[in-house]
């Protein structure tokens, strides 16, 4: 492909910090988790996003699993989630034995429809896992109010939403727990990485234990206990400090990366606006109380077959534009859970009409122009 869909960017200090971590003098060489770069990353996120506690994990998927473990979700429990999401949003609590209860999405943002949550709550419901699609917030005000009224936990899957806000508050810091991903396809990356944001202070100590193989080693490292021991059933959810070194360079440039993405995003909006006016396609909708991080720029075509033709047309011109989630309720695993096509009409329809355009800091102006021209030509040819 001449123009790829996404690629990670190097912002400046990645090599330098990685080398510092790798080649640190033997007396303080620390390649495992929770070393100096991990501490810098966590405290940068805690300060910038006003988060009470941030724990780096090996991926967003692992952070979701840690969240499910922390909430003690298990057999007999139900979790309310959108079907328009990545498998990890569901696997995390299914591994613990809980079941998903899928809900349709909103037409404007493709986020979980908050108006459909309450009627899906049963005696077994324990939590709501909203997913902030494309870095645009769900209606967290309503979701938190429902959760409070029914005694449910809220875990924000903010994997795509690092540095995005809702009424000024950073996504991931609004529910009881929040999850970030630093996968290479996300805005800020170290290849594979993630974080769990803990907003319920009562969960911090247990989270540290579950993440450290069920031991109180975190307390020991802080000198709060004089030896560490096995205190619970946990696993290993730490990110290597070598990767945290790369991540720290990216986080230092949080806003530089976002500004570049914003520029490209707005350019797409401006240049495709006439086609939207003619009814040829629909642009993303960002509600007034949401401040996006410009993670994804997608367009919605009138039908699935127009979407597929445009995707093929772009591919022939060497441009990779891609669809996104196949609704989970229509997947083989979704069928095994008892769901079928037709259960969530809006999710199915929007998923079929959606096309994501190349968007990453190193996409040049010329390349973006080529993408835009090709879309214009598709509609005039």
Ligand X SMILES: *Cc1c(COP(=O)(O)O)cnc(C)c1O
The contact set with ligand X (CB under 6 A) reads 59-61, 85-86, 88-89, 131, 157, 159-160, 181, 183, 194
Nearer to ligand X, 125 or 160 (CB): 160
Radius of gyration of the chain (CA): 21
Residues 115, 105: contact at Cβ < 8 Å?
A: no
Beta carbon of residue 87, minimum distance to ligand X (angstroms, whole number): 8
CA torsion, ordered 122, 347, 171, 81, to nearest 10 deg: 20
Nearer to ligand X, 88 or 216 (CB): 88
Nearer to ligand X, 294 or 378 (CB): 294
Confirm whether 186 is a catalytic residue: yes
Using Cβ positions, the residue closest to ligand X within the complex turns out to be 60
Beta carbon of residue 128, minimum distance to ligand X (angstroms, whole number): 15
Beta carbon of residue 343, minimum distance to ligand X (angstroms, whole number): 20
275 closest CA partner among 380, 351, 381? 380
Query: Nearest 5 degrees, angle CA 374-CA 189-CA 135?
Result: 60
Residues 109, 133: contact at Cβ < 8 Å?
A: yes
Beta carbon of residue 200, minimum distance to ligand X (angstroms, whole number): 21
Residues 374, 326: contact at Cβ < 8 Å?
A: no
Residues 372, 271: contact at Cβ < 8 Å?
A: yes
Nearer to ligand X, 215 or 240 (CB): 240
Nearer to ligand X, 347 or 370 (CB): 347
Q: Distance (Å, rounded) from C-alpha 77 to C-alpha 154?
A: 14
The residue annotated as part of the active site, out of 186, 227, 316, 335, is 186
Strand ranges for the chain from DSSP E: 53-57, 78-82, 99-103, 125-128, 153-157, 165-166, 169-170, 177-181, 194-198, 290-291, 297-300, 354-357
The gap between the terminal CA atoms of the chain, to the nearest Å, is: 22
DSSP label at residue 356: E
Beta carbon of residue 160, minimum distance to ligand X (angstroms, whole number): 5
Q: Which residues are catalytic?
A: 186
């Amino acid at each position: 492909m001449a123009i790829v869909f996404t690629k990670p960017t190097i912002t400046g200090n990645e090599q330098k910090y990685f080398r510092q971590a790798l080649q640190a003098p033997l007396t303080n060489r620390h390649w495992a988790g929770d070393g100096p770069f991990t501490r810098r990353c966590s405290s940068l996120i805690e300060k910038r996003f006003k988060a009470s506690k941030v724990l780096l994990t090996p991926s967003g998927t692992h952070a979701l699993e840690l969240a499910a473990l922390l909430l003690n979700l298990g057999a007999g429990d139900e979790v309310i989630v959108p079907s328009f999401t990545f498998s990890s949003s569901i696997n995390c609590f299914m591994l613990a034995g809980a079941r998903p209860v899928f809900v349709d999405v909103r037409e404007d943002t493709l986020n979980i429809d908050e108006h459909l949550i309450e009627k899906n709550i049963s005696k077994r419901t324990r939590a709501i896992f909203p997913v902030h699609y494309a870095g645009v917030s769900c209606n967290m005000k309503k979701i938190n109010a429902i959760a409070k009224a029914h005694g449910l936990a809220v875990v924000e899957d903010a994997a795509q939403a690092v540095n995005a806000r809702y009424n000024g508050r950073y996504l991931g810091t609004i529910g009881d727990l929040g999850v970030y991903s630093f996968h290479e396809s996300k805005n800020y990356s170290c290849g594979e990485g993630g974080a769990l944001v803990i907003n319920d202070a009562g969960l911090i100590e247990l989270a540290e234990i579950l993440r450290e193989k069920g031991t109180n080693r975190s307390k020991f490292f802080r000198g709060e206990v004089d030896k560490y021991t096995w205190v619970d059933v946990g696993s290993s959810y730490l990110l290597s400090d070598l990767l945290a070194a790369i991540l720290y360079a990216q986080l230092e440039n949080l806003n530089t990366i976002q500004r570049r993405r914003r520029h490209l995003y707005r350019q797409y909006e401006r240049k495709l606006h006439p086609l939207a006016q003619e009814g040829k396609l629909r642009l993303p909708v960002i509600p007034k109380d949401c401040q996006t991080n410009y993670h994804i720029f997608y367009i919605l075509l009138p039908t699935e077959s127009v979407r597929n033709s445009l995707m093929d047309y772009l591919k022939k011109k060497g441009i990779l534009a891609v669809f996104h989630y196949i609704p989970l309720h229509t997947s083989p695993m979704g069928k095994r859970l008892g769901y079928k096509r037709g259960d969530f009409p809006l999710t199915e329809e929007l998923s079929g009409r959606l096309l994501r355009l190349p968007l990453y800091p190193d996409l040049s102006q010329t390349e973006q122009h080529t993408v835009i021209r090709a879309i214009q030509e598709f509609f005039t040819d």
